[in-house]
Each structure stands twice: as structure tokens, then as C-alpha cells.
Structure 1
Amino acid sequence: MRRIRAAAVGAVTLSLVLAAAACGGGSTGGGGSNEQPRTLTYWASNQGANIEVDKKVLQPELDKFEKETGIEVKLEVVPWSDLLNRILTATTSGQGPDVLNIGNTWSASLQSTGALLPWDEENFGKIGGKDRFVPSALGSTGVQGQDPAAVPLYSMAYALYYNKKMFADAGITEPPATWDELVATGRKLTTDGTSAIGVEGSNLSNNIHQVFVLGKQHGADFFTPDGKPDFTSDGAVAAVKQYVDLMAEHRIVAKGNAEYAQNQSLSDFANDRTAMVLWQTASATFASHGMKEDEWGVAPAPVQSGAPGQGKAVNSMVAGINMAVFKNTKNIDGAMRFVKFMTGDEEQKILNKAYGSIPPVTSAQQDPAFATPALAVLRKTLATSAAALPQVPEESQFETVVGTAVKELFAEAAAGQPVTAESVRAKLEKAQQQMPKK
């Protein structure tokens, strides 16, 4: 999911929505009852440094689509802080777009509402076939064994970005490869005016992404194989504590980061206030802050020991944006043509170049633009050491309640309160109690 999504809806609200008989969205867009409308409404997620950047990227492509098809696409770029709530409201009211972006980690949750068009073999055939897409991206499109609820649009992975000058000034020649190395490096980089690494303690989804990966490294999945929450295992507790301890114990994260929300850590990084940041496909955002490409480096995100890989050496979640269609749209043919257009090779190259992301369409990845050193790290991560977040209907609640638990622990760390295994477990137990009972 991209530019980190704030899962703003509470667990109780979401559980009520998921229990409702969802009717989906879709605009009439004009046209008579016997003909397809000549307009589509499209909710795009905020991928650029701000909404205006997204409009500048997307509108020329939507104009191109209109010229080719005669179908006007009415664009709204929705901030991540509002997107999930907007989608959930649309699933119950029926007042939503024809086509929309969703964070890929929400796929299973939104699939369970019944509001999104299932991508069966016939529907995939209308956009060129399922085998056009990279398997790791398809793994975050809904519950395994069911037809996907969406198709991949942009792919991303986490990496460790570092400020080359700050590293050189501190006499550091290599980026850290393990968490112990990161802490040791971080202590060399932390001064009165700068901190070693930035976090976004108030960004619930970023919290989830980081502790999910650390959980995998500690042998925890946060859900049992039958889909029940498992937030209080020793591995889950160790993962959350290790992340918060970057501030609480090691003090290589500034206390003010406890209040940081979306993209604030990137601003600090681009302005030499922090030396490192763990982020997903960040090059375009750095450029928007005026940072030159030769000023930063990128390396695989740290692991506990050894090298990144499968199992306990996972170092990223499978990040990305999916594209979905409300199944009661009154312009299903137009929606399908639009999805085909946006996932076609030409548009995949244009859009992913603009956002610094990676095409989830295999053939589009062959463009030399996606073979840069920075993107090579991300492509290898997606192919060899990334794992999809749990594809369960309760995933969105998981992001909210566990993300909030981590936020509260960062706030306590910033206030000088001790963060212990017992206090972490208590927060996670409270979060688990807020999940719907099966």
C-alpha cells in the first residue's frame, strides 16, 4: 500500500460495515438507460508528494484515454487519511466511484463486503490475462482460493535509504545490513541536531508495515493459519518492542517522531535532519523535496542476521496499489476498458516512472528505466524477500488496532516512560480484544 495509508476507520465501524449487505458504488455518468454512459468516476490514491502532483501526473493520461475511447474520466485524488472511510461508506451507500485505487493490504477486507467486482478468468481475459502480472503482486489481491477483488497497478517494496554525506561525515562506509549494525551505525549518526533514523509514530499503517516485517523475522504472523488474531505471541511482542526501542532504548530516533504522520519522516530525511529512513519506493518523493539522486543511497532493509530471503529473513511487506471496480457500476464496459488502459504496458511504464514505483506487469518491467540501482534493490526484494500482509477479512481492523498500540507505545517512549515486554504485551492484548469475535 502506498505513501503510507492511514487506516482511519475504527474496528467497530468496520465490523459493522463488513456485516452489512454491501451494494457497491458507481456513478450513472450520464447516458440513457439503453446505452453505456460516456463518463467514469475514478478515485485515485495519493501517490505523489501531494494531491496536485497526482493531478499533474494522471490528468494527461486520462485525457489520452478519453481521446482514444470517447469516455471522460472524472478524477478525484483521495488522501490516504480519508480513503478507507470513503470506500467503506461507498460500499454501504452505493454512492461511490466506478473505479478506484485501494491499498493492496485492504484487498481481502474490501473483498468481504461483496461490493467489488471479482476478477475471475473472464474478467482478467478482458484486460489481457492474469499471467501478465507478477505473482507477488497477485498475492495481495484478496483471499487465497477466491477470485481477486482487484488487479495490481503499482508495486513497491521497503528499503533502507541513507544520506551519503551524513554517512561520510561520520566515517561510515557501508549501510547497515542487520538490526544490530543499524543500532551501532545509528549511535554514530545521532547528534544534538540530527537523529539516525526517522519513524512515523502516528502513522498507523507504517507502524503495521514495520512490525509485520519484524514479526516475520521473529517467527510471528499476527494471525493463526485459520485466520484468528494472534497478537500476543512472544514473536509479536518482540517485534513491536524492537521497533519502539529504536526510540525508547537506543535513542536513535528523535522523540518528536512519536507524533509524525504521513511523509514527515521523508521531509526530515530530505532536509538532512535524519540520516536514514525505512520507506517504500521513495525516490520520487525525495526528488519532490529537492533532493538530488546522488545525495542518497539505498540498501535492502535490515534483517536479524545473514542476508534477506524467505522465512525469518523477510525484510519487506509486498507493498503496492491495486485497482478495483465497484460491481454495480453502470458503465462496466467503460470501467473494464479503463483498467485495461491503466494496466497496459505503455501506461504502466509512464505511471510507474512518474511515481518511482515498479510495474506489476512483467513485460513493462523490462524497460531500462526500472533497472536503475535503486529499483534493482526493490525488484530483488519483491522477488526474493517480501511477504504479503495477512489476506484475511479483518486485515483493516488489524492495521487500526495494532497500529494504534504501536502509536501509544511511541508516545510513552517519547514521554520517558519505560517500554517493557509486559507493557507491549498489554497493549497488544488490548488490541486483540478489539478485534471481531469469530
Structure 2
Amino acid sequence: MRRSTATATAAAVTVAALLATATGCGGGSADGAGSNSAPGELTYWASNQGADIAADQAALGPELKKFEERTGIKVKLEVIPWSDLLNRILAATASGQGPDVLNIGNTWTASLQATGALLPWNAENFEAVGGRDRFVASAIGSAGAAGQDPAAVPLYSMAYALYYNKKMFQEAGIEKPPATWVELVETGRRISGDGKWALGAEGANLANNIHQVFVLSRQHGGSFFDAAGKPTFDTPANVAAVKQYVDLMAEARIVAPGNAEYDKNQSLQDFAGGRTAMVLWQSAASSFKAHGMKEGDWGTAPVPVPAGAAPGTGTGVNSMVAGINMAVFKNTDNLDGALKFVGFMTSDEEQKILNGTYGSIPPVKAAQSDPAFADQDLTVLRDTLATSAAPLPQVPEESQFETTVGTAVKELFADAAAGRPVTAESVRAKLAKAQQQMAN
């Protein structure tokens, strides 16, 4: 890629703010990777979707070779761990030196869009990959700020579900998974004990904290940002949502106190090891298998909703629209090749292959309807994405939101684990502090 010579001051400020709040500083420099790709070459930064980087290289390698054979364009692949990815991207947007094509978490899209470094997906660019209408509407809704051309194209779609251990449910005499939060607590109290816990959580995982309380906020009729994009963190609805989540440990006592320190998929290991009976996670089947579980060991159900509600819009929202988007740096030296590559990766054929490998849902309509995505796990996820998932706020400050509110929830879990009271007032104070940090 060429170094950008027209970076707006506002974009530079946005990058600086994001760099200040980003976590996992393992790779904060592009160091020339992907810069000035040779003619007939593209550099691609892929996110770590498989059990490890080697698994991703094995999965993507044959597909990139297939693209090279069809187009003559060689793709230089780098798989980047999630702990490093955001900082690597931010450094690239600040310096103008980075890959031609990259994967981004869809919740970051509006923040990265605000830097001005990503290619806008206008009608012409969408036409180069088969048209905007090929993609599921909810996935496009998480590809950039409202009222602007999307800054990325959906690649893998995911949704949250309630996963439960069938054997542990049978041993406790529980016939079906809980459909409401009241039922979840009741079920959890029947299971917890003798060294086993009902529900796994990750109190130190800031992004997961945000995903959980976002859903609960919607179920309480709340929002963390108003229509103008201003933070509204400490509203009564948000206080109730955060308290409800932390109270699964503090009051209901169905989450182990040690989960307050969990991060980086530790709750999935507990679930696979039979130490917890349930976990709320996004598209987790491939992770369970990587930890030794077999098909049929777990069941999949929609995330609970309030009593009297049904999964759907409004208070029936039970997942954020999770997923991975594919973006192009707009100062790439090989725009035509980059568009061809995005078109290849989002083709019906490749969508079936890649999403089948990773246990995710194709955001491309034609691929999503394939019978390969009709098992119980994927049917629950597909139905959730179609009917009851909502995108996280598509605002430039989304990354700061994840850090500040995610940290507030982390601190409240620490209070619960230590036996300190978690009250509506203590929750409100943490959220007010987070909102103040956003203003600084």
C-alpha cells in the first residue's frame, strides 16, 4: 500500500483515542507488513477464527491458492491473534502502511470508518462483488455508521446462543433449557453444587461483558447511546441490565466467583470439561470440539428473554449481531485485485466452505440457505440473526464504549467475587464514571 498523504485531523484524533483505549498491545506496528505490495500481489490480514493460527493457515491456504490459480494474483497471508489485531489495524490506519485487505470485528467498523482509511462500499464497489442485495440485511447493518456507505463487507456471521450440557441436565432431572431469565436462575440453582456451577461467565473479558449487557439493556428497553450518538450509560434501564448480569454471581450464585477473573475463552474450557452446565457464547460449536467435546454432548437454545416476551424485536432482542467483516484500505496499490479477492471470499462457493469450517453462518443469502447450515446449532444461530439480533451501536466511539463500560462490569464482578455488595447505586456510579471517561 502507499502511504496516505491526506489524513484528516479528526481521523488522527480518532485513531489516537482508539489507541489509548485498545487492549492487548502485542502488535502495535505494521512494520512494513503489507506495505507496497508487488504488482499481482495482495497482502491479507486474517483474524484468528480457528483453534489456533496454524489451523487458520491450513484452512485458508488452499482457498488462497485457488484464487491465485483463477486470477494470477498471489495473496500473502498473515493470521493475527485477536489480542493484537485492533492495535495492528490502528497503527496501519495512522501510518498509511498496512495490508490491502483485512478482517475486522464488526463492532469496530464504525470506529475504523471514522479514520477515513477504509474503502467506502458504494454501489459501484458492491457491484464488483455481486451487489449489496446478496448480503443479509442485519449483517450489512453492522458494516458501518448509519447514513453512510458501509466501510466493509460481511464475511462471517455469528450470534449468541445458550449452550447447555445434556448430561448435566439429565443428571439434574431438567428436561429442557431455560427460555427466560427466571427459568435460567431456577435451573441454575438446581445444578450448582458439589463443585459444579450452572453458568460460565468471563468477568474480565471486556468485549464479552459489553455483548451481554447490550442485550440485557435492549431487553429493559434501554440503549447505551441516544439517537445523536451521545453516551447514555447510567440510565435506569442500563443500570438494571448491568446489575442483572452481575447478579448471576452476586445474588443468584449460579456463576463461580473465580469467573470474575476469566478472560480469553476460559468459560468454554470449563463447559467442555463438565465444570459448568451452561454458557452464553457466540457460535461456539467449533471451540467445544477443539476442547474435546463430541457432537451430541451439548444442546443449543436461544438466549433467554424476560418472562412474557418472545425472541424478536424490542425487548425480545437476545443477541448482538456478531461477526467478521472484510475491509479494503482505500489507498491500496491494487484496488482491482482487492475487489476481486473480496468478491472471491464472499462468493457462494467460498462462503459455504469457510463458514462451514468455522461453524459460523454465511452472511450471503444464497449460501446461508444451503442444507449444510441446517443442523440444530446453526439453525438457532441463523434464526437469531434473522429475527432477534441487533447490531451494537455503530458510532465512532464504540471501541471506547467496549473499554469503559466493559471495565465497569469487570470491576463489579470483582466486587461480587469478593463479597462486596453490588447495588443499583454502585452500578450507577460505575456507569457514570465510564460515561465521564468517554467525555475526556
Q: TM-score, normalised by structure 2?
A: 0.92
Q: Give the corresponding residue for 1:34.
A: none
Cα separation, 1, equivalents of 2:418 and 2:98 = 42
Deviations 1:202-221 (A, max 9, x none): 11110000000000001111
Partner residue, 1:3: none
Shift of 1:313: 1.0
Q: Deviations over 1:191-238 (max 9, x none)?
A: 132111101111111000000000000111100111100000000000
1:192 aligns with 2:194: yes
Is the 8 Å Cα contact of residues 34 and 44 (structure 2) preserved in structure 1?
no
Q: Distance in 2 between matches of 1:357 and 1:16?
A: 29
* Distance (whole Å) between structure 1 residues aligned to residue 426 and residue 81 of structure 2: 33
- Equivalent residue for 2:168? 166
- Does the CA contact (< 8 Å) of 2:15 and 2:115 recur in 1? no
Structure 1 ranges of 4+ moved more than 4 A: 15-18
Cα deviation for residue 52 of structure 1 reads: 1.9
Query: Which residue matches 2:433?
Result: 430
Q: Say whether the 8 Å CA contact 1:26–1:329 is kept in structure 2.
A: no
Q: Determine the C-alpha separation between the residues in 2 that align with 1:16 and 1:159.
A: 31
- In the other structure, the counterpart of 2:37 is 29
* Structure-to-structure mapping, 1:307-326, within 5 angstroms: 307-326=310-329
Cα displacement (A) at 1:26: 5.5
User: Which amino acid is the alignment partner of residue 97 of structure 2?
Assistant: Q
Q: Distance in 1 between matches of 2:120 and 2:391?
A: 20
Alpha carbons of 1:368 and 1:12: their partners in 2 closer, same or farther (altered >3 Å)? Answer: closer
2:140 to 138, 141, 144: 138
Q: CA deviation at 1:79?
A: 1.4
Aligned-residue offset at 1:14: 2.2
Look up the equivalent residue of 2:233 and give its one-letter code: F
Q: Tell me, what secondary structure is at the counterpart of 2:419?
A: coil
2-side partners of 1:397 and 1:200: how far apart? 19
Report what 1:271 is aligned to. Answer: 273
Give the residue type in structure 2 aligned to 1:71. I
CA displacement 1:104-132 (0-9 Å, x = unmatched): 11111111100000000000010100000
Residue segments in structure 1 that go unaligned for 5+ positions in a row: 1-10, 19-24, 31-36
Mapped to 2, the partners of 1:17 and 1:260 lie a distance apart of 23
**Structure 2 contact 111–396 (Cα < 8 Å) conserved:** yes
Verify: 1:289 aligned to 2:297, yes or no. Answer: no
- Are residue 401 (structure 1) and residue 398 (structure 2) matched? no
Query: Aligned partners of 1:223 and 1:422: how far apart in 2?
Result: 20
For residue 17 of structure 1, report the CA deviation from its aligned partner.
8.4
Q: Distance in 2 between matches of 1:16 and 1:79?
A: 17
Correspondence for 2:367: 364
The 5 A counterparts of 1:217-296 are 217-296=219-298
Q: Secondary structure of 2:223's match?
A: coil
TM-superposition CA deviations, 1:142-194 (whole Å, max 9, x none):
11111000000001111100000000000000100000100010011111321
Residue number among 207, 210, 217 corresponding to 2:209 in the alignment: 207
User: 1:379 corresponds to which residue?
Assistant: 382
Q: Is the 8 A contact 1:27 1:40 kept in 2?
A: no
Amino acid at match of 1:402: V
Aligned position for 2:89: 87
Question: Any idea what the Cα deviations from partners look like across 1:26-69, whole Å, max 9, x if unmatched?
Answer: 52122xxxxxx122111111111222221121111111111222
1:101 positional shift: 0.6
1:420 maps to 423
Which of 315, 334, 343 is residue 340 of structure 1 equivalent to? 343
| Distance in 1 separating the partners of 2:318 and 2:330 | 35
Deviations 1:325-384 (A, max 9, x none): 000111111111110110001100000000000000000112111111211111111111
Q: State how many pairs are aligned.
A: 416
Give the Cα separation in 2 of the matches to 1:432 and 1:138: 28
Bigger shift: residues 156-165 or 428-437: 428-437
2:394 to 379, 386, 391: 391
CA change 1:17–1:66 in 2 (3 A) is farther
Identify if the C-alpha distance between structure 1 residues 251 and 13 changes in structure 2 by more than 3 Å, giving closer, same or farther: farther
Structure 1 residue 351 and structure 2 residue 342: aligned?
no
Q: Which amino acid aligns with 2:274?
A: D
Question: 2:67, 2:341 within 8 Å by CA — same for their partners in 1?
Answer: yes
Deviation at 1:263, TM superposition (A): 1.2
> Aligned letter for 2:121?
W
Which residue of 1 is the match for residue 3 of structure 2? none
- Quick check: 187-196 or 126-135, which moved more? 187-196
Tell me the distance in 2 between the aligned counterparts of 1:315 and 1:371: 20
Identity of aligned residues (%): 73
CA contact (8 A) 1:26 1:330 kept: no
Distance in 1 between residues matched to 2:384 and 2:333, nearest whole Å = 40
Greater Cα offset, 336-345 or 192-201: 192-201
The separation in 2 between residues aligned to 1:12 and 1:345, in whole angstroms, is: 35
- Would the aligned equivalents of 1:269 and 1:276 in 2 still touch at CA under 8 Å? yes
Q: Partners of 1:12 and 1:238 in 2: how far apart?
A: 32
Partner of 1:114: 116
- Taking structure 1 as the reference length, the TM-score comes to 0.92
**Native 8 Å contact 2:18 2:90 kept in 1:** no
- Rounded to whole Å, the distance in 1 between the matches of 2:267 and 2:153 is 30
CA distance in structure 1 between the aligned counterparts of 2:282 and 2:235, rounded to whole angstroms? 27
Q: For the Cα contact (< 8 Å) 1:119–1:149, is it kept in 2?
A: yes
Separation (CA, whole Å) in 1 of partners of 2:370 and 2:275: 35
Among 47, 59, 62, the residue aligned to 2:61:
59
Root-mean-square deviation (Å)? 1.6
Offset at residue 307 of structure 1 (A): 1.6
Say if 2:42 and 2:334, in contact at 8 Å, map to a contact too.
yes
Measure, in 2, the Cα distance between the counterparts of 1:182 and 1:15: 37
8 A Cα contact 1:54 1:77, kept in partner = yes
Native 8 Å contact 1:201 1:410 kept in 2: yes
Q: How far apart are the structure 2 equivalents of 1:211 and 1:158?
A: 13
Cα 1:302–1:267 change in 2 (3 A) is: same
